[in-house]
Chains A and B, each alone.
Chain A
Amino acid sequence: MEQENHMAFPVYVSLVTLTLLTIGSFFVGWGRIQSVVLALSIAATKAALIAFYYMRLRAERPLIAGIVVVGMVTVLLLALGILPDVALR
């Protein structure tokens, strides 16, 4: 069992920085689509940092990684699968 998480503080600083970046980019006044893409990209980066370093996904065995991949693919299907309903309305 690994005793220390040396990346904990650098990841914490990154998460706080990315949060402030999210707020800062909001006041820049991008277009609607750009705002959504930027905000969700930053959120996805923060989620990846938490999952890989705080939840230690990078050191987990393949079975756990498989569970996460199944979850991500299913959520993406849920999210993208209903888009045609709006696009083709």
Chain B
Amino acid sequence: MNGAVSVEKNPWDTRDTGKLGIWLFLLSEAMLFGGFLSSYVMLRLGSSVCALGAPAWPQAGYTGGLLLATLNTLVIITSSFTMVNALTSAKQSNVRGFSLNLLATILLGCLFLGIKAFEYTAKVQHGYFPRSAFIAANPGLGIFVSFYFGLTGLHALHVLAGILWNGFLYQTGQAGDLTDAFVRKVENAGLYWHFVDIVWVFLFPLFYLV
């Protein structure tokens, strides 16, 4: 015995169970998006109509769509930054900082969905949706457009879930009691929100640039 005190972390510490659960959930989400994205990449690789390497969108409305998607990328990146600040404020028991940053995250999430809805409307007005007359006249683009609405729609649903989750935390945090247990809940919501950000980071170039 050398006299040194050994402090070993309990591997069954239940305080980290929530975070472990979130990471396992994110693992399953990675499988979900990974599977769809793999199918999408294979579609583009094998297509003679919308081969990977150049935008698959027709010229009409393309620049506007790219601009909106770029704006959305900046919005969701900024929301990740405010989410980090919300967690930092919660750890410091700074109720005002936590509330302001989480509210900013929620509003940026809503802005993301608003821009996405505006973009969907423009796409529909151009006839870029499954079974439209335009798609019927351009066989090969239909499955690309289906993937676009399917994957960006699935991502938008995840953004909506994140907004609701953050909204619940915002409401709960108004009581001003930022306990360790509450901070861990904010951390878990942050992990989910950042994951949603990562998914968009890959959707953006794959659907708008290449």
Which residues of A are interface residues toward B (Cβ below 8 A)? 1-5, 8-9, 11-12, 15-16, 19, 22-23, 26, 31-33, 35-36, 39-40, 42-43, 46-47, 50-51, 54-55, 61, 63-64, 67-68, 70-72, 74-75, 78-79, 81-83, 85-86, 89
Contact = CB atoms under 8 A, between A and B. Distances in A.
Interface stretch (B49-57, B110-118, B167-175): B49-57
Contacts of A2: 91
B34 interface: yes
B74 A71 contact: no
B35 to A, nearest CB: 6
Residue in A9, A47, A55, A68 whose Cβ sees the most chain B Cβ within 10 Å: A55
B201 A70 contact: no
Given A26-B209, A40-B205, A64-B19, A82 B191 contact: no
B25 to A, nearest CB: 10
Given A55-B191, A79-B38, A42 B205 contact: yes
B78 A12 contact: yes
Contact of B205 (A39, A64, A79): A39
B70 interface: yes
Contacts, number: 133
Interface of A is mostly: helix
A82 B38 contact: yes
A19 B20 contact: no
Contacts of A82: 38-39, 42
Contact of B84 (A8, A40, A42, A67): A8
Given A22-B209, A32-B54, A50-B80, A78 B35 contact: yes
Interface in B21-70: 23-24, 26-27, 30-31, 34-35, 37-39, 41-42, 45-46, 51-54, 66, 70
